[in-house]
Amino acid sequence: DIQMTQSPSSLSASVGDRVTITCRASQSISSFLNWYQQKPGKAPKLLIYVASSLQSGVPSRFSGSGAGTDFTLTISSLQPEDCATYYCQQSYNTPRTFGQGTKVEIK
Amino acid sequence: EVHLVESGGGLVKPGGSLRLSCAASGFTFSDAWMSWVRQAPGKGLECVGLIKNEAEGGARDYAAPVKGRFTITRDDSKNTLFLQMNSLKTEDTAVYYCATFGAGRKFDYWGQGTLVTVSS
């Protein structure tokens, strides 16, 4: 199975800060990397797919980059509503595995 | 608007069975690849399995922890996805979400989830 490792596990930042979350795959996954946002008690929501494509309706402050084994999710200007847990997920092969999550809090 | 509504969760004893349903609307269900993803309390996300559309053979795949115990089926005439869970274990306790698996190999739309608790 492909292991997905996110860092950091949690972070605290101020409104307006630039926030970066990284995701590393245990082997190359090309660009088959997706990012999800999950708020407490809610279902996950797709933000970014195939590493850098923004899902329809998602604010442009979210962006993704990377290929191969190293990927990044960036929030250009953190907003209060971005308080959530973020997960990366690979679809290069089965099983389709998720990272352990990064919890983002507002200072 | 895509709408997915899961039902059928509840409390079941170890070794028991449960059948979850996911009613879909707002898209052409028969064309869609569908999946079940679960989340144990306070834990991360795990893809339980996926079923392709019938035009692509309806093939299914399952995560190793549930293979041989869980079965995913679909009824395209009723726009409904099912997850039959047998020989349940305490470690199967989780919120179970159904999700579409769209082009670009992404879980693009999710239901609200249904809680399954396996406990004696």
pLDDT digits (tens), chain A, 107 positions: 999 999 999 999 999 999 999 999 999 999 999 999 999 999 999 999 999 999 999 999 999 999 999 999 999 999 999 999 999 999 999 999 999 999 999 99
Residue B41, Cβ neighbours under 10 Å: how many?
Answer: 9
Contacts of B10 (CB under 8 A, 6+ apart): B18, B115, B116, B117
Which residues of chain A make contact with B113, given a CB cutoff of 8 A? 43
Pick from B45, B104, B111: CB nearest A53? B104
The answer to whether residue B104 scores a pLDDT higher than 90 is no
B53 class by beta-carbon count within 10 Å (0-12 exposed, 13-18 middle, 19+ buried): middle
Contacts of B52 in chain A (CB under 8 A): none
**Tell me, what's the pLDDT at A34?**
98
Q: How confident is the model at residue B60 (pLDDT cuts 50, 70, 90)?
A: very high
**A72 to chain B nearest CA, in Å?**
17
